[in-house]
Structure 1
Amino acid sequence: MAEAGGDAFAPRLLAWFDRHGRIDLPWQHPRTPYRVWLSEIMLQQTQVATVIPYFLRFIERFPTLPDLAAASTDDVMAHWAGLGYYARARNLHAAAKACVAEHGGDLPRDFDALHALPGIGRSTAGAILSQAWNDRFPILDGNVKRVLTRFHGIAGWPGLPAVEKQLWALADGHLRDVPDGRLADYTQAQMDFGATLCTRAKPACVVCPVQEDCVARRDGLTGALPTSKPSKTLPEREAIALWLENAAGDILLQRRPETGIWASLWTLPQADTEAGMRDWFAREMKGKFDAAEDLPVVVHTFSHYRLHLQPLRLRKVALRDAVRDNDDLRWVARGELATLGLPAPIRKLLGN
């Protein structure tokens, strides 16, 4: 195994970053703690090119942390809709409120205080501290895990606690060779290197700045490292959704519960079975359920299962007299759909 530290890694990576690193990302100008934090949350599980337009719209609507804290849940989710992994948005909003309540409206420059905020794990806390304040903290996101497993020849799925502990120690060790004042650059360098050169498939080893000391390259293990997560077949689930329109063409939306899939987002009324959907319709609506038109099945893959959603469309229906618009059920004009947080497959189904 290559030694952590020494001249083999951090200085060469910084030299590469000075020539090829990404220095024009929107959250870098200006590089404030709030903008760094927002970008780090958006970049979890999501590529830079996808994040940039969302970041720009989000920061225009919520330019400061207090602005985000004061916003409504619907407004926040509407500006996040389509980016996926919606728990990130809920945690972001909750963390902003906590910062206003406990830290004077700013992100705390303290690892433990940052780590205690919703949605901020160990790596994200380190990334914020190093990029916003040039503090000396390691990171270990997916890109860095891949780089370190290859460079040091670490076998075993990086998600295993024993392997992750080893990678954290290596990441921390490399920090010793980073000059003061360059922690932000080094953090960005690691992410850029993993995203652009040491990629999951077909890494560009011939132009790699640390290839001379890379164990995976030396031993022909580039394709085998990092070790893949043990395969698991995703379970398949089915559900029914009702696309209901009133006489004016407004669409009935229902807010999802605060936990579970699409939590707190607005979507079409949904049930696991047709019988359950019929029961809901009989309680809430005026109209003939059997007149509903079958639409093509929507297939959406979550991290832990694949959903087959059968939409049924029914026009010119109305709520029963005892049922009224409320915080969790409302008629929405087509032109107003964009103001609410809708799951991407539902937004696509509705043509919005």
Structure 2
Amino acid sequence: MPVDAWPELLRWYDVHARDLPWRAKPGETPDPYRVWLSEVMLQQTTVAAVRSYFARFTERWPTVDALAEADEGEVMAAWAGLGYYARARNLVACARAVAEEHDGIFPDTEEGLRALPGIGAYTAAAIATIAFGRRAVVVDANVERVVTRLFAIETPLAAARPEIRARTDTITPDDRAGDFAQAMMDLGATICTPRNPACAICPLSDICTARRRGDPEAFPVKAPRAARPHRHGDAYWVEYRGQVLLVRRPAKGLLGGMLALPTGQWTEAPPPLSGAPIDARWEEGGAIEHGFTHFTLALTLRCAEVRDAPVDGIWWPADRIAEAGLPTLFAKLAARGLAWREQRWKGAA
């Protein structure tokens, strides 16, 4: 990028910067806690999805010290629906590390930030530059798209990422590095979009190789996507005196630490009824399909009402199941369970 190009981008940003709840207003000093929290929430998630979560989190836990003192189960419940639940566990661990080891003050360097739980290379760079103004190379999906188009990088993702980072390094200025990173993000989110990019109003259009070639939508080049494996399993809605049996999933692994309905094993072929938490006369309550990053899952809900000696576990009022903070997969199943419950009431009337 010519030396006079990034000031043009910053001039555009000064006028068109997105109004985001975690972003400091002009003249304000960025709050590292809000920057960190937003960056963790935004991983693999959209701005639109994060806004309401961010508002609830910062109202309930307005500082890193407040979050450090929070009950992990309550944080996991507040996170429900954002996905990638290891982030929520790391969120608490990181807050506690900052509170206990750094007197509630975030380190201001990439190296210091990377030493904290759950903060990887991208997040450390983003916090260092946005919160503390340090020069850092920040490449999220939006920046990735902008840079591959600026330089017409032909290598498919993900193999292109070292080259994308190196190219981004060449255009990252020493001054206003945090604004530059956010400007690149905003450009990708609002102008240099995946489809129908608005090249005519882009502040970098004059130096964009992909635009000169007439094919900006060809970038980034994506490798053919392998088919995801498909798995099957059973989940169980066990009701006792108006309460539903929930379990807390193991801390490590998929949906770790979250409240959930009991399930059997998830296998490549539809399994025989397995993993039932109690002997009962099971009725089918419907099925759902859900996509994870590396596989898709079909779960059949088995429902039963028991009257004697329920198993030990977490018994949650069925009519308040929405308050349990179930992850999306199990919230879908709970909706099927409530429908089964309603049908039983109608049948008994």
Does the alignment reach a TM-score above 0.5?
yes
Higher alpha-carbon deviation: 99-108 or 234-243 = 99-108
- Work out whether 1:201 is the aligned partner of 2:195: yes
Residue number in structure 2 paired with 1:309: 299
- Work out whether 1:50 is the aligned partner of 2:34: no
1:20–1:267 Cα change, 3 Å: same
Aligned residue for 1:201, secondary structure, equals: coil
Q: How many angstroms does 1:317 deviate by?
A: 4.2
Task: Give unmatched runs, 5+ long, in structure 1.
Answer: 283-287
Please list the CA deviations of residues 33-76 of structure 1 after superposition, one character each: whole Å capped at 9, or x if unmatched: 00000001111111111111110001111111111111112100
Q: How many angstroms does 1:276 deviate by?
A: 2.3
Higher alpha-carbon deviation: 90-99 or 54-63 = 90-99
Q: Distance in 2 between matches of 1:204 and 1:55?
A: 29
Q: How many angstroms does 1:165 deviate by?
A: 2.0
Please list the CA deviations of residues 75-110 of structure 1 after superposition, one character each: whole Å capped at 9, or x if unmatched: 001111111111211111111122123212221112
Q: How many angstroms does 1:202 deviate by?
A: 1.5
8 Å CA contact 2:151–2:209 kept in 1: the answer is yes
8 Å CA contact 1:115–1:122 kept in 2: the answer is yes
Q: Distance in 2 between matches of 1:106 and 1:335?
A: 42
Residue number in structure 1 paired with 2:217: 223
Aligned residues: 327
Q: How does 1:7-156 map to 2 (within 5 A)?
A: 7-8=4-5, 10-22=6-18, 24-29=19-24, 31-156=30-155
Task: Give unmatched runs, 5+ long, in structure 2.
Answer: 266-270, 339-349
Q: Distance in 1 between matches of 2:209 and 2:120?
A: 29
8 Å CA contact 2:12–2:203 kept in 1: the answer is yes
Residue number in structure 2 paired with 1:349: 333
Structure with larger RCO (C-alpha < 8 A, sep 6+)? 1
Residue number in structure 2 paired with 1:276: 274
Pairwise CA RMSD? 1.9
8 Å CA contact 2:109–2:134 kept in 1: the answer is no
Correspondence for 2:289 among 280, 299, 314: 299
Q: Distance in 2 between matches of 1:64 and 1:41?
A: 15
Correspondence for 2:161 among 164, 167, 183: 164
Please list the CA deviations of residues 203-249 of structure 1 after superposition, one character each: whole Å capped at 9, or x if unmatched: 111211111111111113312210113311011100100001102x1
Residue number in structure 2 paired with 1:174: 171
8 Å CA contact 1:75–1:340 kept in 2: the answer is no
User: Which amino acid in structure 2 is aligned with residue 239 of structure 1?
Assistant: G
Q: Distance in 2 between matches of 1:168 and 1:319?
A: 60
Residue number in structure 2 paired with 1:187: 181
Aligned residue for 1:241, secondary structure, equals: strand
Aligned residue for 1:99, secondary structure, equals: helix
Q: Among the aligned pairs, what percent are the same residue?
A: 42
Q: Distance in 2 between matches of 1:229 and 1:42?
A: 27
8 Å CA contact 1:75–1:339 kept in 2: the answer is no
1:317–1:347 Cα change, 3 Å: farther
Q: Distance in 2 between matches of 1:319 and 1:208?
A: 67
| TM-score (normalizing by structure 1) | 0.87
Aligned residue for 2:53, secondary structure, equals: helix
Q: How many angstroms does 1:274 deviate by?
A: 3.7
Q: How many angstroms does 1:336 deviate by?
A: 5.2
Q: Distance in 1 between matches of 2:250 and 2:259?
A: 10
